[in-house]
Structure 1
């Protein structure tokens, strides 16, 4: 994938104390358990992790109120390595108002996993809006929640 304009990207990177296969299973099969920083929750409608697959969910606030609907398409899925998603399209390649392209990368690091997640935006305004929403703190909190799920999976 070509380099993106770094001025339009927000990203986090952390080391997850779980093997890459467990992190992949947590990412693909248990997304609703870790996606939103608690006390927020994720109602997963569909999460088809393959190129062209639909990813749709509703993010709910602590009192169950609907805060955000996310609808998009998986652009790339390399098992245990990388997922690329965008909200620029709904399933069937139907264009919609875009906010970002999300890129999640996993890299084995011994028995742990180097986890990098980035959000590539169409404009500085969208990037700034995402930063103000709490991108870094929120995505790092979600990564810690992902780690907890992956550790549970690794223990069997």
Structure 2
């Protein structure tokens, strides 16, 4: 896949088979999704195109950041795509990005790639300044730690 305009990307080699990585990605999100000391509470994720995605990111000082959106694409064992441009029922929201999470076999392990695509350069730059690389990188490392070994 070629890089889209206004895209931020994190990729990791994970020393675990794709099926194990996929299971953790989709069934154990609360264990890896947010960089510690933050955590996530999954309210609902409907793993299908058009499905609801609703969670809250919980900060160490009592911060609560709701994150609602829609699953745009779901290919079991391979990738999912979601956006915060809409909430359940296709209600338009103040969008930040389209997120793409995907895996593919690589040698004896798995290549994990997470992308954030933004509507414009300003949103992309803002997400980068918010700590995209550190935050999404920490989440990728937490996923790897969860399934390796």
Under a length normalisation based on structure 2, what TM-score does the superposition of the two structures give?
A: 0.94
Q: 3-state DSSP class of the match of 1:49?
A: coil
Find 1:73's aligned residue among 66, 70, 73.
Answer: 70
Tell me what 1:56 maps to.
Answer: 54
Counterparts of 1:71 and 1:124 in 2: how far apart (Å)?
A: 23
Instruction: Find out whether 1:24 has 2:16 as its counterpart.
Output: no
Contact 1:37–1:142 (CA under 8 A) maintained in structure 2: yes
- Gaps in structure 2 of 5+ consecutive residues: none
Tell me what 1:98 maps to.
Answer: 95
Q: 3-state DSSP class of the match of 1:72?
A: strand
Instruction: Give the paired residue count.
Output: 149
RMSD: 1.5
Q: 3-state DSSP class of the match of 1:85?
A: strand
Q: Deviations over 1:72-120 (max 9, x none)?
A: 0101111111110001111111111111000111001132110111000
Post-superposition shift, 1:39? 0.5
Post-superposition shift, 1:4? 6.1
Q: Which has the higher helix share?
A: 1
